[in-house]
Every structure is written in C-alpha cells, then in structure tokens.
Amino acid sequence: MSLDKANHDTERRPTLSRRRFIRGAAAGAALTVVRASAVRGAEANSTIDLGVVGLGGRGAWIANLFARHGGYRITAVADYFPEVAEARGEGLGVEKARRFSGLAAYKRMIDAKVDAVALETPPYFFPGHAAAAVEAGCHVYMAKPVAVDVPGCLTIGEAGRKAGERKRCFLVDFQTRTDPFFQEAVKRVHEGALGHVALLSSYYTDEAFPDPPKTARPDSRFRNLVWVNDIDLGGGYLVNAGIHAVDVALWLARQTPATAMGSARIGRADPHGDSCDAYSVTYEFPDGLILNHRGEHLHNLHGFTCGCVAYGRGAYMEGNYAGKAWLRGGPKGYRGGDVENLYEAGAVRNIAAFHQNVTQGDFANPTVASSVNSTLATILGRDACRHNTKLTWDEMMKTNRRIDVDLIGLVQ
C-alpha cells in the first residue's frame, strides 16, 4: 500500500555527464570547504547545530553547502575512515574531540549533542542512522535512496512518522521536486491539462562508476561511490540513480505501481559488483496507467539524460533533469523553461527549506512518504528485472526481504 495516497523545443542534451559533475563537485569540496564560523549570518536563536555523517565526496560537498547557507553551525562530523573525519573536520572548523570515526561514529556524534544530522553514507546504513537520530531527538536531512530493501524503507517511514510526532523535521534530498518549472508543469497535469494520461515514459542514462574487485572486507567499497555497483550497499543502479526519473513518474501518477516486470543485464566489462547496468522495466498502476522506465550505465560517450514524459489526449508533458520542463498542447500548454544546475540548485533549496522548517516549527515532513514510495518502486523494478518475472507490490511487501552486509571485523 502507498504511504501517501494522497511552444515545443527540442531537448538539449547536456555536454557534462552527471557522474563527472558529481566527481568534480566532490573533488572541489575537498579543497574548498568553508569554515562554518566564516559564514554564520543567522541570529543565534535560528542557528542549527549540525552533525554530518559521511564526509566522502558528496558528503564534503553537501557540508560545504550547509556551511554556505549561514543558518547552520557544523559542530560534529562522523566518517568510517579516521583520516577523512580528521581532514573534513579540520576544514569545517570542528573541534578535534568532535570528529568521530568507525562504524559507530554516528552514535558517538549523536551522543555528543547536535540539533540535526545530515546523512551522506552508502544507503545501506541510512535506516539505522536515521532511526537512531530521531530517537535521540534530532532533525534529519538525508540523501536518497532511503534504503536498499523493503525493511529499510519501512524503517525510514516509521522514523519519519515519529519525527513528526516528536516535532522534528525529516527531509529527503530529491532535487527535481524543488524546480519551479517542474512544479508548474506537474501541477497542470494534475489539474487535467493532459486529459486522461495513458502512458508515462522515464529514462536515466549515464556513464558507470568504477567497479574495483571486492575484498573480504566491505569497507574497501565504502569510498568514491563504487558501492553503487553493489546491491547490498547501494541498492544498484536502478535504485540509486534511476530513482530520480521514477520519482518524477510517481509524482505525476500520484499512486504507487501494482506490478513491475522487465529485464536487466550486466553490460560493463569485468564486473565485480552485482548491480545490473542496463535495464527496461514496465510498471502497471491500479488504474491501468503504464510506466516504462529504461536505463543504462555504460562507458559509451552517450552521457547523462534523465527525465520523464507523460502522454495524454491532445497534449504531453516532458521534464528533464538537465534540459527543459514544459507542457505542449491543449488549453493549458506551458512554455516552461530550462532546468539549470539542478544537482546543486535543488540541494541548496532543500537545505534552505530544512532550515526554515526547523526554525519555524513545520513538522509535516512531506518528502518522507514520497521518497519511501519511490525507493520501494525501484526495488520492485530491480527485483522483477533480476528474476525476469512479473512481481506485484503486494508480493514484495509480504516477502519483506532483508539485505544484510557482514560487518564483522570492521572498526567500531
């Protein structure tokens, strides 16, 4: 069951791969971290003491955005690797005693008292980290996907519910839903601009992450996003990357799929992870709406594309993560505009919204249910493709398959 029932231009393909942008942003973050003390512009009573868990490439980058906002004071950091915690903590001006490392670093950071936590680890760890933060009375800001399996998704849903009850904010950082062109185009679809929507078509293509050999210790795959190649740590490419496009489709559909079927394969050379990197999934919704999603993550110079098209009667709507969002045809056509720098601009808007919600006491936390549902939908598609079968949402939820990682022997 869903957690939340509730003029035409040719698309311009971006010249910069989103993967290359992420890696470039991560490299820049390592060199340009801004000390929180240098950008504090908010009054003391509106400044949020923030702890960041996971200070690798994107974690360092997102920490820099929090510091740049001016309404946060980064007072603690946690990372599995001590050298990372020390280097990032030094760059952010965090006291040495509040730089934590090891698997339990997040617990020690929470015990050290922060108002809020930002979670930027491999998604396998999100449910445990988020639940502990909420139990300790912290506000939570986290990346997507929310988990790698159904039990993890349910844990996040419960943590979000508890956060609201305890007057705490919980925000999941999807960027597309923050864009004003997407918002207006989707709003018009919901108002009937396409009439009866018969088909949704979403897509996500990009180059692949490195896929180094696995070792006996999983911490060898905690760095540099290589964990995306592992279903157990990162969920796999469909769950970790394709979710951006599937999330837009579910936003348009306002419902969760009843079934998924499809095929997937590993196409990269000399693979060591178990994630498929080429896939085609067909979802069917309870009212008969069809969603086709396709994706590939191969080194082939095709580059990054991510978006969704909704086909109706006499009109269609198209939105692209890096391109244009608009609606063509019908009485509610919308010229839209170019979606620019969404990877950073969306995160900046989410960071600002999180601060506003915390300081103004808005605990509705609307991103939780939609993010849990999008993650579950991609898990449904992933598992249907892996077994080359038709899988129902109800079957997936009833099976409630848990993914475990053997962490014995790692530094606590």
Tokens representing 283 are 């979802």
The list of the chain residues with pLDDT below 50 reads: 1-16, 19-44
Question: Token digits for 108?
Answer: 């020690």
Going by their DSSP bridges, the two strands 199-206 and 305-311 should be labelled as antiparallel
Question: 113, 124 in Cβ contact below 8 A?
Answer: no
Q: What is the pLDDT of residue 212?
A: 82
Question: What is the distance between the alpha carbons of residues 22 and 41, in angstroms, rounded to a whole number?
Answer: 28
Q: Please list the alpha-helical segments (H only) found in 279-412.
A: 342-360, 367-386, 393-399
3-state secondary structure of 141: strand
What does the pLDDT read at residue 211?
Answer: 86
Residue closest to 201 by CA, chosen among 276, 107, 125, 307 = 307
Write out the two tokens for 189.
């679809």
Confidence (pLDDT) at 109: 97
**Whose CA is closest to 117, among 42, 71, 64, 169?**
169
- Give the number of other CB atoms < 10 A from CB of residue 90: 14
Number of CB atoms found within 10 A of residue 161's CB = 16
Structure tokens at 41: 């512009």
Q: Which of 263, 264, 261 is nearest to 284 (CA)?
A: 261
Query: Do the Cβ atoms of 363 and 163 come closer than 8 Å?
Result: yes
Give pLDDT, residue 76: 98
The reported pLDDT for the residue numbered 95 is 97
**How high is the pLDDT of residue 25?**
45
* Residue 383 contacts residue 400 (beta carbons within 8 Å): no
pLDDT in tens, 234-285: 999 999 999 999 999 999 999 999 999 999 999 998 899 999 999 999 999 9
Judge contact between 374 and 247, C-beta under 8 A.
yes
Strands (E), 125-242: 139-142, 170-172, 199-206
The model's pTM: 0.90
Q: What is the pLDDT of residues 217-232, one digit of tens each?
A: 899 999 989 999 999 9
Predicted pLDDT of residue 45: 64
- Do residues 225 and 231 lie in contact, with contact meaning Cβ atoms separated by under 8 Å? no
Say what the pLDDT of residue 108 is: 97
CA 147-27-29 angle, to 5 degrees, is 80
CATH architecture of 176-399: 2-Layer Sandwich (3.30)
Residue 172 bridge partners (DSSP): 142
CATH number of the 18-172 domain = 3.40.50.720
Instruction: Tell me the C-alpha distance between 261 and 219, whole Å.
Output: 33
What single letter denotes the amino acid at residue 72? Y
Q: Rounded to 5 degrees, what angle do the CA atoms 40, 358, 56 make?
A: 65
Q: How is residue 304 written in tokens?
A: 């990054």
Domains 18-172 and 176-399 share a fold: no
Q: Which residues contact 154 (CB under 8 A, 6 or more apart)?
A: 372, 400
Query: Structural domain boundaries of the chain?
Result: 18-172, 176-399
Separation of alpha carbons 147 and 150, rounded Å = 8
Report how far residue 192's alpha carbon sits from residue 411's, in angstroms, rounded to the nearest whole number.
55
